[in-house]
Amino acid sequence: MNGVDSVKSALAEAADSLSRLQSDSAMLERIAQAGALLADTFAAGGRAYSCGNGGSMCDAMHFAEELTGRFRDDRRGYAALAISDPGHLTCVGNDYGYERVFARFIEAHGRAGDILLAITTSGTSRNVVAAAQAAKDLGMKVIALTGRASTPITELADIALVTPGGRYADRVQELHIKVIHILIELVERRLAPENYTDV
């Protein structure tokens, strides 16, 4: 397969994954519910936390900065924080083990009424699952963003968003960023409706 054929094949696989998500009416409803839950959290003065490993940590950071900063047009910042501080991660990883790096942060900062976006493509990342359990123990809500159903993270989540993938996790992650952008848009449409002329 030459270079152009490889490009076409990758785009075709990505388009197929997106098409499968678009056709899943139950999952689209869950995405809408997750957006409403996030908007309710911010409207009530709660905070959103996000976590993940590797590319999923990058997605967690992207989610938080679009909320605290700017997504499309100007509006107030929303209280969101990715668990990504290297001092915290290395301290807790050294003292308690890597499995506790996210949960320990939630135990320190999370409160009832807050929400956690827990991102794991496999649905089994032990440190993300531990964070979700810590959040539930505190009375927080949990939105899981994953690539597999019937996994430890989906069992803990109040709302489990499962995106279809291809042979590898990259297709799952590509849909995760689309879902993240949609969630932020749903929050803005609810809390900053003046920014959307089609409301």
Can you give the pLDDT at residue 37?
Answer: 98
Burial of 66 (0-12, 13-18, 19+ CB in 10 A): buried
Can you give the pLDDT at residue 2?
Answer: 83
> CA–CA separation, 165 vs 107, rounded Å?
32
Is the four-CA dihedral 188, 36, 119, 141 of positive or negative sign?
Answer: positive
Residue with tokens 């949990």: 142
Token digits for 98?
């890597």
Can you give the pLDDT at residue 169?
Answer: 86
30-76: pLDDT as tens digits: 999 999 999 999 999 999 999 999 999 999 999 999 999 999 999 99
pTM reported for the whole predicted model: 0.96
DSSP-assigned states of every residue in 153-172 = HHHH-SEEEE----SSHHHH
Task: Give the chain's residues under pLDDT 50.
Answer: none
**CA distances, 6 to each of 2, 15, 52, 128, 169 (Å):** 6, 14, 29, 33, 17
Can you give the pLDDT at residue 56?
Answer: 97
143-153: pLDDT as tens digits: 999 999 999 99
The answer regarding whether domain 3-195 maps to CATH 3.40.50.10490 reads yes
